[in-house]
Amino acid sequence: MQRRTFLTSLAAAAATPRLSWADAGSPAYLAAARRPGGDYALFGLDAAGAPLFSQPMPARGHAATSHPTRPEAVAFARRPGTFALVLDCARGVVTARLTPPEGRQFNGHGAFSQDGSVLYTSEVVAEGSAGRIGLWDAARGYARIGEFASGGIGPHEIRRLPMSDDLVIANGGIETDPSDRTPLNLDRMRPNLSYMTPEGVITEVIELPDLARNSIRHLALRPDGLVAFAMQWQGDPAEPVPLLGLHRRGAAPVLAEPKDEEMFAMQGYAGSVAFAPGGAEVAITSPKGGRLQVFSATGAPLWSVARADVCGLGPCPAGGFVVTDGVGLVARADQGVLSPMASSNVSWDNHLIALG
C-alpha cells in the first residue's frame, strides 16, 4: 500500500503542469513603485509598459531578480534594508520572507545561480559596511546556507556572468552610517568590480585609482560577457567625470566620456544602466539630472534624452530602451526621441528589471 501510494503521488506530481511566466501574464519587466496611498508594491509590466499584476511590499523597494526557470521573483528593500520577499508571481502570493543575519543589511540587489538553486544577495555588515554575499537555498524555502566576502566595502549590484555561475560585484566603496546612510570614508574610498567564483574566490579586481570617489553601483551585462558599470561621483560636483565604464575580463576598463555639452547633465549621478537589444548601445540614467545618455559599446557618445526624474531603464524589444520615471510614465527612448508607452498613478522606483 505504501508503494502504491508513493507511485500515485509521483504520477500526480508528474502530471501537474509546471507554472511559467505565461501563467503570470507574460510580463516583460518588474519594477517597484510607491502607490497613491503611500504604500509600496512590486509590479509586473507587459512589453507595452502596462501593469499586469502587483504585490504589496512592507516598505520601499529597490530592485528585484527573477528565477531562471519559474515565475518567481525576489524583491529587495531599498538599502539599507532588512527584508527581501520571494514572490510567486503566477499565484500572487509571498512564499518566503528573507531577513539578513543580525548586524547585517541587504543592499538592494541579488542574483540567482544558473540553475536557480542558489540566491546570492548583496549585504553589508552594518558597522563598517564590510561587504558580504549571502547564499540562500531556493530549493529549501530559501534557507540561509552560507556567505562570503564581497571583495570590498558597500557592495550594491551583483550579477551572474552569462553562461556561467561566476559573479561580478559592484563594490561601491562607501562606508555609511548604519542608521542614516551618511558617508564616513569619502577621503579613502576604494570602489571596485570584483569577479568571483560561486564559492567566493576572487579571480579579478578592477579599480579606478584616478577616480577613487566614483562609487561603482550598478551593472548591465551583454551576452558575450561585456560588463557595463554605472557610477555615482562623491567628489567635487563642479568636476564632471565619466559615470559609465565598460569592462571585459582580462582587459583594461574603458570609460565612456559624454559630449562636451552633456558633461554636467547627469549631476554626477547614474542611477541605472542597460544595454539595448543587440548590445550595440548602452545607456545610463540620472533622476538627479533628468537625463538619459546613450553610448556605443566602445564608449563613444551617441545621443541623449531629457526627462525629469528618469531612472528605471531596460532594453526595448522594438529597439532602443524603455525608461520609467517618478510620475508613472513608461516610455520608449530611441535615437534621441522619447515616446510615451503607458502611464500609471504610481511613482516608479530606481530600476526596471527585464525578464527573459
Residue 317 has pLDDT above 90, yes or no: yes
pLDDT at 123 over 80: yes
Angle, CA 345 vertex, CA 339 and CA 347 arms, to 5°: 80
Residue 89, pLDDT > 80, answer yes
Max CA separation in the chain (angstroms): 79
pLDDT confidence band for 17 (50 / 70 / 90): low
Q: What span, in angstroms and rounded, lies between the C-alpha atoms of 271 and 314?
A: 12
In a domain, 35, yes or no: yes
Instruction: Decide if 233 is inside a domain.
Output: yes
- Whether 6 is in a domain gets the answer no
Chain segment 326-355, per-residue pLDDT in tens: 999 999 999 999 999 999 999 999 999 999
Q: What is the pLDDT of residues 259-271, one digit of tens each?
A: 999 999 999 999 9
Domain that holds residue 320: 19-354
Assign 3-class secondary structure to the chain.
CHHHHHHHHHHHHHHCCCCCHHHHCCCCEEEEEECCCCCEEEEEECCCCCEEEEEEECCCEEEEEECCCCCEEEEEECCCECCEEEEECCCCEEEEEECCCCCEEEEEEEEECCCCCEEEEEEEECCCCEEEEEEEECCCCCEEEEEEEEEEECEEEEEECCCCCCEEEEECCCCECCCCCCECCHHHCCCEEEEECCCCCEEEEECCHHHCCEEEEEEEECCCCCEEEEEEECCCCCCCCCCEEEECCCCCCEEECCCHHHCCCCCCECCEEEECCCCCEEEEEECCCCEEEEEECCCCEEEEEECCCEEEEEECCCCCEEEEECCCEEEEEECCEEEEEEECCCEEEEEEEECC
* Residue 14 belongs to a domain: no
The Cβ of residue 55 has, within 10 Å, a number of other Cβ atoms equal to 21
Whole-number Å distance between alpha carbons of 217 and 288: 15
Closest CA to 196 of 135, 140, 252, 142: 135
**Spatial distance between the Cα atoms of 73 and 235, rounded to a whole number of angstroms:** 36
* Strand 192-196 to 202-206 pairing: antiparallel
Cα gap 58→207, rounded to integer Å:
36
For residue 4, tell me if it sits in a domain: no
What is the C-alpha separation between 87 and 67, in angstroms, rounded? 10
Is position 34 within any domain? yes
**Least confident window among 119-123, 136-140, 176-180, 334-338:** 176-180
Q: Is residue 5 part of a domain?
A: no
Domain presence at residue 13: no
| CATH code, domain with 54 | 2.130.10.10
Number of domains forming the structure of the chain: 1
pLDDT in tens, 27-73: 999 999 999 999 999 999 999 999 999 999 999 999 999 999 999 99
